[in-house]
Amino acid sequence: MVNWAAYGGERIVVHRRKKPVAAVVPLADLELLEQMDDRRDVIEARKRRREPTVPWTKIKRDLKL
């Protein structure tokens, strides 16, 4: 399976009791997925930076801590 993915570019789904549980994919596919995930994280972080912040003292007061 590993050779099929590494050298043949195949994507193999591994099943347990007829249920898909994992996949063996070419490294290039994994790298692409990780890049996409990183981009999504950056976009989300940029959105969050624009949100107003709440001082910790206010949070503690609101939660009666």
**Predicted confidence (pLDDT) per residue in 38-53, tens digit:** 999 999 999 999 999 9
**Predicted confidence (pLDDT) per residue in 20-32, tens digit:** 999 999 999 999 9
Length in residues, the chain: 65
Percent pLDDT > 90 in the chain is 94
Q: Residue 5's pLDDT is what?
A: 97
Tell me, yes or no, if the pTM score tops 0.75.
no
Q: Which residues of 13-39 are buried (b: 16+ CB within 10 A; e: fewer)?
A: eeeeeeeeeeeebbeeeeeeeeeeeee
